[in-house]
Structures are given as structure tokens and as C-alpha cells.
Structure 1
Amino acid sequence: MKKNIAIIMGGYSSEHNISIKSGNVVHKYLDREKYNPYRIVITKYRWYYLDELEQEHAVERSDFSVGIHGKKVQFDCVFNAIHGTPGEDGLMQAYFELLGMPHTSCDHYEAALTFNKRDLLSTLKPYGIPCATSYYLNKGQTVDDDAIVDKVGLPCFVKANRAGSSYGVSKVHNKADLANAIATAFKEDSQIIIESFLDGTEVSVGVITFNNEVTVLPATEIISENDFFDFEAKYLGKSQEITPARISEKQESNVRQLAEFIYKTLGLKGYTRSEFIFIGDVPHLLEINTTPGLTEESLLPQQAKTAGISLEELFDSAIVEALR
């Protein structure tokens, strides 16, 4: 019997529209002989099923079901395609765990931990994971430009602590520009992280569970036409994304081992995509995404394709692992 799959998309953050694109691609490629896919749009004010005629049907939140023309539809599994809150920060995961409903992403604590850049890096530092020097700042605190520059140097990156798709990120070359960069980051989050600039090759590495095994996908080399891999570079074609990355065998071995170690150490599940910058042969961790982009052009699907995994197989495997 075919399984009913709820593909959740949208969310509350600036990544809402990007998530809709990811969810629609999942909906397109799911095997109709195995699954009945349902597009479920999550917004701050409404949760609803969007049918093939673009008609909306309200979701019953008490049990995550949908009433369609007088018939109640319940789901066997949830495919999480929400980037940002509430799909990447643990909120939806906790909700589904309370309902006892299988879902394709990691558990709620791991989602919350990885979504919080500051907490993630603090958790991994005792394991010797290399990363940039960082300075933390919360909204309302006094901003000491001299202390920031003394700690992280210039240039530096100012980032919203809990955001994705490079929203709220600025590269700062001069101390006089810190105030504007901090204000930009605070538009996305009440917490920010300011990091030292790492001058080296940037790569993105997908790690997934595929056929019941942790699988490291080929790395993608990121070459931005802009000053860094910002929103335009990610989504508006202002970058080169080369898979597999043009890195040495030593670098490839180091980053694959590190990405797999992080995945297993944190107890992650489903899809992840981690970002690193090489200083010499040593990969330095920037961040981890636990609901990465899933369009045909997104990095994780590019990496899967290079590994010989089609979108149909990639999406099917996530559901199989969730139901396992």
C-alpha cells in the first residue's frame, strides 16, 4: 500500500520562498508508485495542504491530519523541506516526535544545536574541530568595536546566529563599517556571531544516511564572484559551484573524515551539508545545515548526482530511513 507523505515547506523565516521551491522539487520527484505526496505549507498564521488545483485545505494540528472533501487524511511520514525556523531549529521535529510521527530530519535537540552557530561551535571545540575565532553579541549589549577587532581582526564576518541562506551576513573590511553590519545581522536574529576571516578554499560537504549507511558525498568547491558566498552568489548565479571540488587527495581525505566524524559525533540523521574553509590542508568548520536546499541546482543534489544518486533515489532514501 502506498504511503502518505506530507512534504512540509515554507516556514517563518526569510528562507520561506526558497523552502517552497525545495518542497515543490521533492513533490515532483517522489515516486508515485510508492507514495502519495501532499504539499503542506507552514506559515506563522496558517498550516494548509495545497492540492493539485492550488486549493488550500487546513491542517488539523492536534494530530497533523488534513480533511479533504469530508475525508480525513493521515500521514505515514513527514518530509521536511523547511529551511530556517520552525523546520531547521527543532520546533517541528519536537512536534512530530510528540505525535510519534516519523520525519526525515534529525531529532529536535540536534536540529536546535546545529541551527545555533554559537552553540554548535562551542560543542565541537572540545573535540578539536578547527574553526574561526569568534566574538558573540546579543541585542541590547554594548558594542565595543575595539574589542571586536582585537579579538577577530579585519576583515571579519558578522552573521546572524540563527539564520540561513546568508541572510544577515556581512563581510567587514573597516572598523567604521561594523555598526551597519551588526544592525543588518540583528534584523534576522537577536544573537549574532562575529568571526575572523579565513582565507582559503571553501567547500561544502553533504553527509546523508543512504541504504542504512552514513555516506559522505563528493565535496563542492565554492567560488563566489562577490566578496563572499552571499545570497546573490547562492541563488542568483554569482558563483561557480564545482563538484567534485578541485582539492588535493590529502584535503579531500581530511574533509571527508571530519564531516563524517561530526555527523556521527552529534548523532545526526537524514541530510546534512557542512561548510568548511581550508587553511593549508586543514578544513575549518563554518556551519552545518540540517535541511539543505533540495532544488535541482542546490548543492546537495549536485553532490548526490556526482555520486550516482538520482533525485528520486535521494528523496526515497530519506523516507525509507525515517520509516526504518
Structure 2
Amino acid sequence: MKTKVALVQGGYTGEAEVSFKSAAFVYAQIDKEKYDVFPVTISVDQWYHQDQQGNQYPISKEDFSFQREGEKISFDVAFIIIHGVPGEDGRLQGYFDMIGLPYTSCSALTSALTMNKGYTKAVIQDIPNLHVAQSVLLFNEHRPEAVDLVTAKLSLPIFVKPNAGGSSIGMSKVTDWTALKQALDNAYDAENTGQQVLVEEFVTGREFSQGIYRDTKGELQVLPATEVRTTREFFDYEAKYTPGLTEEITPADLNESQKANADALIKEIYIRLNCKGMVRIDFFIENNTDKFYFIEINTVPGQTAQSFIPQQVRAAGKTETEFYGELIEAALQG
């Protein structure tokens, strides 16, 4: 009997478009000789499986199953590839925990915590040799005085971004105080981000993104880092998803000391946040000091052919088929 895998895609936010692209790539790579893979779309209006012929089958929310020609199809494991709500913020994980279905991502608690950039920094900031930029965390109640709170504590340039959410939606770089109010409004008003804003001082350095996962033996495997160089002011939504705006170097050109330090800190972040499955950690290495500055963690990283994780898997000498098989088997082991 093949293992039945629910490839969960879609979501409730604008990141659904990216999720469908990621899921299509994962579907194409998973070993069909070993796994029966069923794409399952989750949207605000409906949950359903759509087969290759375009037939749709509603998913029962009682046990995440569906009926096909009188047969009940239940899953052995869920491969979550929803970016944002509800696949990355712990909601879906909590549901799967309640019905007893294993899944490939972090737990409900870790997923909820890491969607909140400010709370994540609070948990990891005392890790030795890890640095976090000076920041101000703003809630909706702070909105009337937000400009004053930021200018009193931070120095330009700064990044203003929603405290939850992804794909750099609602994010701005501010180099002049006159632009702060508009940047704050953009971040506060970004869809499905909870009206919380994180403002951080700019770190001058090289930007990297690096994946890590736990293999079927329970051992942590750090993938080769990717260096991100963009022609944009910073790595924003357009830079992420518009071809030609960003240069991505995998594996990154790091000396032995830089690589060893980054690998060790990424492992410690993974452990401290009690992560599972694959995650991606973004960080700066500051110019002249080589200090490691944590940016953020992504617990459901993009999985298109051009995405960081597949690039890093290939650089590590693995195929995506092997990698996704490892994630599924590790999830089944619990």
C-alpha cells in the first residue's frame, strides 16, 4: 500500500498564489511509486481535492477525508505548503493535532510563535553570538503615537514591516523621517497581519537565507546558504517574485569561520524554537564585524524550482524527490 499524502495548498491570504506554484513543484517531484499524492485546496469558501481530470471532491472537516465513487479516502500524512494563514500560523497544525493526522511542518505553538516576528526575536535573542537589530514593536493601540515611539528609540535607516505575514508584503525601508508615517500605515493596513508593526534599524551587511531540517534519523541537517543580492532597495515582494531583479548565489561564498558560525546558530535557533520539518532562516552578516544578525524564520518556505530551499537541496547533492521523501517519512515517525 502506498502512503497517502495530502498536499495542502492555497490559504486565506494573497500568498495563496505562491502556495499553488510551490505545491505544483512539490507534486511533480514526489516519488509517485511510493506515495499517492492528493492536492487539497483550502480556501475561505471551501476545502476540496481536485483530481487530474478536474473533478472536485469536498473535504470533510470532521476527519480531513473525502468520498470518491462511494469510497472514503483518508490520508496518512499532510504535506503543508500553505504560506501564511492558516497553514503557517498554527491554525491548521492545531486542527491536524486534534484529528491525529501527522504533518510535515512545525507544531501549532511554534508556527504561531514564529509568525510573530517580535515574539520570535524575544525568544532567541539571548542565544550566544546571535544578534538582533534594535527594534520597536507596535500594536494597534500605539498607532496614534507610533511615529514618536519610533523616532525616540531608533536611528535611520530603518525597516518597517508587519509583525505577521510574509513575502515582504507591506514592508518598507525608510531613510527619511518624512516617509515614516506612510510606511507605518502600509504595514498596519497590510491584509491578514494583525495590525502589529515591527520597526528595526538597518544592518549594513550581506543577506543570506539558509534551510535546515531534521532527517529520518532525527539529526539536524543544515543546507548550504544562499546569498541574496538585489538591485532593489531591499529584498521586497517585487525582488522576490520578479525575474532578473535578484541575484541568488547558492552555495554562498562564505569563509570557513562564517559558515561554521552560521550553521551553529541556525541549529540553535531551530532547537530553541522547537522546530520540526524544514524551515528557512534569513540573516545578515554585518560588514567588518562578521556578526550574525537574525532577520526572520519561515516555517513553510517556498518550493518552486527557483526557491531557496530547492536550490540548497541541489547544492547539497540531493534531489528534491529524495528531500521531500525524507520530510514525509520524518513526519510519519512523529
In the superposition, the TM-score normalised over structure 2's length comes to: 0.94
Counterpart residue number, 2:185? 183
Whether 1:17 aligns to 2:20 is no
**1:152 Cα deviation after fit:** 2.0
The two structures, once aligned, show a CA RMSD in angstroms of 1.1
Counterpart residue number, 1:170? 172
Counterpart residue number, 1:135? 136
Whether 1:46 aligns to 2:46 is yes
Contact 2:223 2:316 in 1 (8 A): yes
Deviations 1:84-127 (A, max 9, x none): 11111111111001111110001110111111101100111233
Identity of aligned residues (%): 38
What is the alpha-carbon distance in structure 2 between the residues aligned to residue 218 and residue 184 of structure 1?
A: 34
What is the alpha-carbon distance in structure 2 between the residues aligned to residue 2 and residue 248 of structure 1?
A: 44
What is the alpha-carbon distance in structure 2 between the residues aligned to residue 264 and residue 309 of structure 1?
A: 24
What is the alpha-carbon distance in structure 2 between the residues aligned to residue 186 and residue 70 of structure 1?
A: 48
Deviations 1:27-77 (A, max 9, x none): 111111111100001111211111102222110000000112222100000
My pick for the range that moved more, 49-58 or 293-302, is 49-58
Unmatched segments (≥5 aa) in structure 1:
none
Deviations 1:210-260 (A, max 9, x none): 242210000100001100001111111210000111222211111111001
Contact 1:42 1:48 in 2 (8 A): yes
**1:261 Cα deviation after fit:** 0.9
What is the alpha-carbon distance in structure 2 between the residues aligned to residue 309 and residue 303 of structure 1?
A: 9
Counterpart residue number, 2:105? 105
Letter in 2 for 1:272: V
**1:25 Cα deviation after fit:** 1.1
Counterpart residue number, 1:261? 268
SS class of match (2:284): strand
Counterpart residue number, 2:302? 293
Contact 2:209 2:225 in 1 (8 A): yes
Letter in 2 for 1:224: T
Counterpart residue number, 1:151? 153
Contact 1:48 1:56 in 2 (8 A): yes
What is the alpha-carbon distance in structure 1 between the residues aligned to residue 168 and residue 236 of structure 2?
A: 5
Whether 1:316 aligns to 2:325 is yes
The correspondence of residues 54-65 of structure 1 with structure 2, limited to 5 A, is 54-65=54-65
What is the alpha-carbon distance in structure 2 between the residues aligned to residue 67 and residue 88 of structure 1?
A: 27
Structure 1 runs of 4+ aligned residues shifted over 4 Å read: none
Unmatched segments (≥5 aa) in structure 2:
none
In the superposition, the TM-score normalised over structure 1's length comes to: 0.97
The correspondence of residues 206-221 of structure 1 with structure 2, limited to 5 A, is 206-212=211-217, 213-221=219-227
My pick for the range that moved more, 128-137 or 280-289, is 128-137
Letter in 2 for 1:317: E
Counterpart residue number, 2:94? 94
SS class of match (2:145): coil
1:248 to 243, 252, 255: 255
My pick for the range that moved more, 277-286 or 221-230, is 277-286
